[in-house]
Amino acid sequence: MRTPPQFLFVQVNKRCNLRCQHCDFWKLDDDDRPNYQSWARKQETLREFAEIAPGAGVVICGGESMLDLEDYFAISNESRRLGLRSYSVINGTRVRDRERGDRMMLEGPDEINVSLNSHRAELHDRTRGVKGSFDKAVKALRVMIEARTRHDVPGKKINVMGLIFDENYRELDAFYDFVLNDVGADKLKLNFLQPSFGHGDPVDDFFRDHYRVDPDELVAIIDGCDRKYSLGLNPAWRAAVHMYFRSLHRAADLERGWGSASGTIDHICSTYERNIMVDHYGMARLCFSTAFAGMPLRQYGDLRRFWEAADPIRAQMRQCNQYCGISHSVRRETSTLASRRPLPIPVVAAPTAPRKIVEWSIALRSR
């Protein structure tokens, strides 16, 4: 078998209780939940993943995944039972009290990331679309950090996932200071503006209006934070961030969002070498995009079959320079040297992403 995958992304729901300007998931619902993959099949998929990739990671995804608490904790508990690590990004609105903080520490994922758009409540609330969401996110962080100390579980990671765009990149120093020294979280992880998640309209207002980040200034600010807070940042990641914003500045149609004919100057994604994303219906893909073929996971063994037979998809994906390549989940370079993973053999890619839907599909091998 080829090198095993490192992460299995499992989607729990599609809805959300915020109204983020950079995401349209709050416009969706789970009305078709009867068609979702059953819990029995999810368990089987997790078990197969544990056999393919012992000790690897399971990422619990939404919407806001904690709107379905029992599903959320069922995945984290099952992952732990199978010897897998689990991760999630949450908005913090469902971690309100000591009891929920205790459950997060005792039953929740091994790494919990709370989304925060700024250390300023006004900016976070405005871009997240709900007043008071900043206070809830910060309270969730403090509740979990206190619970971690009370239960003596130092291995549990509690981080902030920040979105960086034109209104906050010059404030990164204060953002780091707030997260690391005031709140006491383990890390501030940086995600960067990209086309709005789940957005299918012809015009992407948030992407169009907030991409103007000076690449040189941003990298200088990141370097200053690296020195000040001893972050151990990866120079290759920093170079990719610089290239990414240079790519945005040279594009002529960013208002089209995911429909833009432009892409990043360089290929910076490696999701196809390490990730399997399984959607609500049990369809497996090598990234979140539906532009590349997937395979339905109908029975035990399908996950392995998909991973081993997906090289034609990988060949297509190596030519993809979509802006989502900068995302924390899929980018080739990690932000810190300590977490840097071995890189596959470099592949020369076309300068822009393909726009056509990939017609290739996997034929299930005879069982």
pLDDT in tens, the chain (367 residues): 689 999 999 999 999 999 999 999 999 999 999 999 999 999 999 999 999 999 999 999 999 999 999 999 999 999 999 999 999 999 999 999 999 999 999 999 999 999 999 999 999 999 999 999 999 999 999 999 999 999 999 899 999 999 999 999 999 999 999 999 999 999 999 999 999 988 888 999 999 999 999 999 999 999 999 999 999 999 999 999 999 999 999 999 999 999 999 999 999 999 999 999 999 999 999 999 999 999 999 999 999 999 999 999 999 999 999 999 999 999 999 999 998 876 554 444 444 443 333 333 333 333 3
Q: How far apart are CA 357 and CA 349, in angstroms?
A: 18
Which stretches within 154-252 are classed as H helix? 172-177, 205-210, 215-229, 235-250
Q: Coil, strand, or helix at residue 144? A: helix
Q: How far apart are CA 361 and CA 147, in angstroms?
A: 47
Phi first, then psi: give them for residue 96, nearest 5 degrees: -110, -20
Domain-wise residue ranges, the chain: 7-326
β strands within 234-356, DSSP E: 275-278, 283-285, 295-296
CATH level 2 (architecture), domain 7-326: Alpha-Beta Barrel (3.20)
Q: Is the pTM of this model over 0.85?
A: yes
Q: Which helix (H) or strand (E) holds 308?
A: helix 302-309
Tell which phi-psi region holds residue 84, choosing left (phi > 0), alpha (psi between -120 and 50) or beta.
beta
